[in-house]
């Protein structure tokens, strides 16, 4: 089957299982997931969705998220959007075919379900982190592409090859990072309900070369000072100034006064306040990251690698995105990502141990065999959903594997061999093209590969010897009929009151 036909078929299979086109209120995607806003959650057939060949799992959060994996999701989403548009044009809206239920009642029912679904995750802090993630996640494809080009350019420069081409590659790799503050400002204003281009305009002040002629707090400013954090703060301020103007400026003058005051007020505060403050914060982040790994070494890596997946489950990992971006902007790479990527290595090792510990459970062994290649490439959802998290104890031992892998890389950081990534998003083997450090690509890749091997073996050994109680082995080390595969893969039937489980994302 052609790739286009395969993606179309996947979208066609998914649409009726989420209630049809009329039930879809919004469509978006991140690195691995198709994120849908739904009018009525009760119309979704979770088990049938999980059975679609291309679907790796589902997550229920503020949106309904269908895990398709990197690459696939970017191709299926346009097909899905087209099907939804066609379906809306041909079908009535929900509730039109059911005269016994009024539109108001249907809307109230859907709103109540949506509110109940969000309540447990709608704390102000988590909502803020989600907004921060929405600002930075759209930038990841450019970070990855430019990061890989930067790595290729560095390799060519070191080898002395294609000397006439390497300057062009350097321009391609550096152009986006030079203007990343503008994109952050644009996305921030969009996310907080302002005019995106005004957010971008205010953030552009930060990277304008002419700021070098301005003094603030007794010091000359530097172009780019404050970086993405300054851009984020400037754009948020611009949104509030714009909203104030919309409320008080007469409509006849709005088109002239509002954008002018927004840029003027926000720009002055940015130049004479935010750039300096955000610059100090950015410098402190870089200094602390270097200090942590230089002094904490293996201990710091052990803690970071072991706690990353629990942070993901709590939604707190989103706070790391601007930190990664700040480090990349400052140093050219983030030293934290390779350590955190070891959590995925622990999952791979734990899954391999489960495979050998449950020789009679064909269902779980099939899940592991199909999900292991994706796990090696850093896509952890299938292994977490189908194997370690439902079983309970293997999830903990997988985190132990991640801790040892993180400790290994942290130790080398302490010894002076930094291992970093020029972009965020990929993990596992997929991170190799993005690696960078202070002692050459060969040394950096060797240390990262060593960390992966340590994570694999530690996760395997911890799970094999400590991941199963006698009761757990008795329950799961049995032959499963195909009809029982769902129960075997999830550790029991899903109930409406079961807590939502969120895998590692994007």
353 Cβ contact list (under 8 Å, min separation 6): 394, 397, 459, 460, 461, 462, 463, 464, 467
292 Cβ contact list (under 8 Å, min separation 6): 300
Question: Which structure tokens are listed for 323?
Answer: 């930190």
Distance CA 15, CA 96 (A): 19
* Cβ 297 vs Cβ 413: under 8 Å: yes
79 Cβ contact list (under 8 Å, min separation 6): 7, 8, 10, 11, 12
Question: Which structure tokens are listed for 46?
Answer: 């979770």
Distance CA 97, CA 317 (A): 43
* Cβ 432 vs Cβ 448: under 8 Å: yes
pLDDT of 353: 94
What are the two backbone dihedrals, phi and then psi, of residue 156, each rounded to the nearest 5 degrees? Answer: -65, -40
pLDDT over threshold 50, residue 201 = yes
Number of neighbours of residue 242 by Cβ within 10 angstroms: 25
pLDDT over threshold 70, residue 122 = no
Residues labelled as active-site residues: 30
Question: Which structure tokens are listed for 198?
Answer: 């005004």
pLDDT of 63: 81
* Cβ 315 vs Cβ 501: under 8 Å: no
8 Cβ contact list (under 8 Å, min separation 6): 79
Q: Which pairing describes strands 64-67 and 215-216: parallel, antiparallel, or unpaired?
A: unpaired
pLDDT of 445: 92
Distance CA 400, CA 398 (A): 5
Percent of the chain at pLDDT exceeding 90: 34
pLDDT, tens only, 389-399: 878 889 999 99
pLDDT over threshold 50, residue 96 = no
pLDDT of 315: 62
Q: Which residue has the higher pLDDT, 242 or 318?
A: 242
315 Cβ contact list (under 8 Å, min separation 6): 121, 126, 129, 130, 502
Q: Which residue has the higher pLDDT, 487 or 436?
A: 436
pLDDT, tens only, 426-485: 788 988 988 988 888 889 999 999 999 999 999 999 999 999 888 888 888 777 554 444
Nearest to 82 by CA among 37, 2, 15: 15
Nearest to 466 by CA among 417, 418, 409, 395: 395
Q: Which helix or strand (DSSP H or E) is residue 29 part of?
A: strand 24-29
SS (H, E, C) 197-240: HHHHHHHHHHHCHHHHHCEECCEECCCCCCHHHHHHHHHHHHHH
Q: Is 284 exposed, middle or buried (0-12, 13-18, 19+ CB in 10 A)?
A: exposed
Q: Is 28 left (phi over 0), alpha (psi -120 to 50) or beta?
A: beta
User: What Rg do the C-alpha atoms of the chain give, in angstroms?
Assistant: 25
Rounded average pLDDT over 256-280: 94
pLDDT, tens only, 21-60: 888 988 888 777 888 988 888 888 888 888 888 887 788 7
> Across all residues in the chain, what is the average pLDDT?
83
pLDDT of 97: 45
pLDDT, tens only, 377-388: 887 777 887 788
- Which of 9-13, 310-314, 363-367, 473-477 is most confident? 9-13
Nearest to 289 by CA among 325, 314, 342, 313: 325
Distance CA 395, CA 354 (A): 11
pLDDT of 86: 85
pLDDT, tens only, 342-377: 999 999 999 999 999 988 888 788 888 888 888 888
pLDDT of 188: 94
* Cβ 440 vs Cβ 158: under 8 Å: yes
Tell me which of 126-135, 251-260, 483-492 is least confident: 483-492
pLDDT, tens only, 140-182: 888 888 888 887 887 788 778 888 999 999 899 889 888 999 9
Distance CA 246, CA 240 (A): 10
* Cβ 112 vs Cβ 160: under 8 Å: no
pLDDT of 101: 41
Confidence of residue 412 (pLDDT cuts 50, 70, 90): very high
pLDDT of 426: 78
Rounded average pLDDT over 72-90: 85
pLDDT over threshold 50, residue 416 = yes
Tell me which of 83-87, 160-164, 296-300, 484-488 is least confident: 484-488
């Amino acid at each position: 089957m052609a790739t286009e036909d395969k993606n179309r078929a996947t979208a066609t299979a998914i649409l009726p299982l989420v209630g049809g086109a009329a039930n879809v209120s919004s469509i978006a995607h991140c690195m691995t997931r198709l994120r849908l806003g739904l009018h009525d959650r009760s119309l979704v057939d979770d088990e049938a969705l999980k059975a679609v060949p291309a679907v790796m799992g589902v997550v229920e959060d503020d949106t309904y998220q269908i895990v398709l994996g990197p690459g696939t999701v970017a191709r299926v989403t346009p097909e899905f959007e087209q099907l939804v548009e066609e379906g809306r044009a041909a079908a009535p809206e929900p509730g039109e075919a059911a005269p016994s239920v009024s539109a108001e009642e249907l809307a109230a029912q859907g709103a109540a379900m949506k509110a109940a679904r969000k309540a447990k995750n709608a704390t102000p802090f988590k909502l803020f982190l989600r907004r921060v993630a929405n600002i930075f996640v759209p930038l990841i494809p450019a970070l990855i592409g430019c990061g890989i080009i930067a790595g290729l350019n560095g390799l060519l420069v070191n080898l002395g090859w294609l000397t006439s081409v390497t300057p062009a590659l350097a321009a391609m790799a550096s152009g986006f990072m030079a203007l990343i503050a503008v994109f952050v400002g644009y996305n921030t204003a969009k996310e907080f309900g302002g005019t995106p281009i005004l957010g971008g305009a205010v953030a552009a002040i930060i990277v304008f070369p002419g700021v070098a002629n301005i003094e603030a707090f007794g010091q000359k400013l530097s172009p780019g000072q404050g970086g993405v954090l300054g851009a984020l703060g400037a754009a948020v301020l611009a949104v509030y100034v714009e909203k104030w103007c919309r409320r008080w400026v007469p409509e006849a003058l709005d088109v002239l006064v509002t954008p002018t005051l927004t840029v003027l007020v926000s720009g002055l505060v940015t130049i004479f306040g935010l750039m300096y403050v955000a610059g100090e914060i950015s410098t402190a982040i870089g200094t602390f990251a270097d200090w942590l790994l230089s002094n904490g070494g293996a201990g710091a890596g052990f803690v970071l690698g072991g706690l990353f997946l629990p942070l993901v489950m709590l939604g707190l990992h989103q706070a790391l995105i601007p930190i990664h971006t700040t480090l990349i902007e400052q140093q050219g790479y983030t030293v934290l990502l390779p350590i955190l990527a070891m959590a995925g290595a622990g999952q791979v090792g734990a899954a391999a141990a489960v495979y050998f510990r449950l020789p009679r459970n064909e269902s779980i062994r099939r899940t592991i065999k199909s999900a292991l290649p994706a796990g090696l490439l850093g896509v952890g959802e299938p292994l977490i959903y189908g194997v370690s998290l439902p079983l309970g104890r293997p999830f903990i031992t997988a985190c132990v594997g991640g801790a040892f892998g993180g400790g290994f890389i942290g130790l080398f950081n302490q010894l002076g061999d930094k291992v970093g990534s020029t972009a965020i998003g990929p993990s596992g083997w997929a991170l190799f093209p993005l690696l960078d450090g202070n002692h050459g690509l060969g040394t950096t890749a060797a240390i990262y590969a060593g960390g992966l091997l340590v994570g694999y073996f530690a996760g395997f050994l911890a799970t094999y010897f400590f991941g199963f109680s006698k009761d757990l082995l008795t329950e799961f080390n049995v032959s499963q009929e195909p009809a029982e595969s769902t129960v075997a893969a999830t550790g029991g039937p899903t109930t409406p009151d079961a807590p939502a489980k969120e895998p590692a994302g994007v």
